[in-house]
Amino acid sequence: MTELYAGGLLYDGGTEVIDGQGVLVEDGQVTKVAPAGEFDGFEGTTIDTTGGTLIPGLFDCHVHLCLGAEGDPGTAADKLLPGQVTMKALERAQNTLAGGITAIRDCGGRDYLEFAVRDAVNGGQQMGPTIRASGRVICMTGGHGNRSGRIADGIDEVVRAVREQIHAGSDLIKIMATGGVMTPGVNPEDAHYTAEEMAAGIAEGRRFHRRSASHAQGRDGILNAVRGGISSIEHGIFMDETCVQEMLAQGTYLVPTVAALRNILDNVKNGIPDYVVEKTERVSENHRRSIQMYYKAGGNIAMGTDAGTPFNKHGANAMELEFMADLGIKPIDALRFGTANSADLMDLPDQGRVAAGTAADFLVVNGNPAEDISMASRLENHRLVIKGGLPVSGQSVSAAGPNFQRMAAF
C-alpha cells in the first residue's frame, strides 16, 4: 500500500519546520521525502495535510504502565490481580498511542507483567506504541521503589539484581540512585546507592548491551550515576553546575518528567498522600531551575512524563511538550526532545525522524507547533496518529482514497 502525505508543513525531527514537502510511504516505511512537485501525477492515496504539520510520532521515555494515575497509584495497583494489572497496562499503552505517542520506555513495572504487553505490541499481536521496558527497578533496602522493586545491597547483590533483569528480558536497567517523592520515609536529596554500587550495576548492564536509567533527584546521587556511566538521569531535581558539566562531558541525557510534579501540584486535594504533596512542594522550584540550567547549557534532553503517577494520565503524555515550553524551552527544541533525541536515547534509529528508511510513525497536527506548541501537546489539535503506516486515531482524512481506512487502536 502506498500513500502520499502532502499539502501542509513538515517537521522531520531536526531544527526547523519546512513547507512544500511530500512524504511517500510504502508498506509502513517512508521511501521518499522531496518537494511536493516531484510527486505530480501520483495515483495512489493522498493524505492532505493542508493547514497542519506532519511530525514524527512522539516519544515518552519514562512511563509506568502498571500504574493508573490515581491519587495513590501504588495502593490502587495493590488491589488488582495480576491479570487485571496486565489488561490495564495494555489499555494504557493503547491510550498512549492514541494520544500521539508512538514509542515509550517503561521505567519500572510490576512482577514483569508489563512484558506481556510489550511483547504483544512489539510482535504485532496488539496495536500500541513501540515499548522498551526495564522490568523491576533496582533499589537499596528501604529505598525509593522498594514496594515493587528488586531490593539489593552491596556490589555483588546489585550485580546479581541486574543479571536477574537481563534474564527476565529487560531492555534496559533502571537503578535508583536517590530517594524520591512517592516513597514514604525517604528524602529525595539523599544518595542511596554508593558510587561503587551504582558503577557496578551500570557496568554489568553495559556488559550485556543494556542501556541504563537512574531515578536521580539529589545532587550526590546524580553524580554517582553519571560517574558510573548512566545513559539517562530521570528527574534531575537537585542538579548543580558540577552535575551539568559532568553530564555534558559524558553526553548523559536528562529526562525531566515535568508532568510528574506539575500534576501533583494541580491536584493536591484529590487524594494524594500528604507526604507526596509536602515533598513535591519542597522540590518543585529546584526542579524547574535544574531543567533550565541543563537546557541553557545545551545538554541532551529527552521527553518523559512519569505517566502513571498521580493524575499523570496515560494518553495525555504529549502535554509534556507544553510543560517544557512553560519553562522557557523553545517549541522547536521541545519537538526535537520529544522525537529525534528520544529515539537516540532509546536506540531506535528508524523512528523519531521523517526520512527515507524510517518507520511511518506520524502525528498530524493542526497549525504549526514550532510557533504554538499546543498544536502538538493538546489532543484536540491532533488530526491523525499513524503507527507503521496504519491510521490509529484521529479525524477523517480529506482527500484520502477509498483504500485509506481508519483503524481503531482498540
pLDDT score recorded for residue 393: 76
Is the pLDDT confidence value at 394 over 70? no
320-345 average pLDDT score: 98
Q: Where in the chain is the domain with CATH 2.30.40.10?
A: 2-56+352-394
Cα 276 from Cα 163, distance rounded (Å): 32
Q: Which CATH superfamily is domain 2-56+352-394 in?
A: Urease, subunit C, domain 1 (2.30.40.10)
C-alpha distance from residue 370 to each of 11, 136, 327 (Å): 9, 37, 16
385-405 average pLDDT score: 63
Burial class (CB in 10 A: 0-12, 13-18, 19+), 280: buried
Q: Rounded to 10 degrees, what is the CA torsion of 49, 51, 54, 60?
A: -130
Q: Which amino acid is at 185?
A: G
- Cell representation of residue 291: 531543567
24-57 confidence digits (pLDDT tens): 999 999 999 999 999 999 999 999 999 999 999 9
pTM (2 d.p.): 0.94
247-260 confidence digits (pLDDT tens): 999 999 999 999 99
- Residue range 58-317 in CATH 3.40.50.300: no
- Cell representation of residue 369: 507547533
161-190 confidence digits (pLDDT tens): 999 999 999 999 999 999 999 999 999 999
CA torsion sign, 238 to 253 to 325 to 318?
Answer: negative
Contact between 331 and 325 (Cβ < 8 Å): yes
98-150 confidence digits (pLDDT tens): 999 999 999 999 999 999 999 999 999 999 999 999 999 999 999 999 999 99
Q: Where in the chain is the domain with CATH 3.20.20.140?
A: 58-317
Q: How many other CB atoms are there within 10 angstroms of residue 241's CB atom?
A: 9
pLDDT score recorded for residue 401: 37
Q: How far apart are the first and last CA of the chain?
A: 22
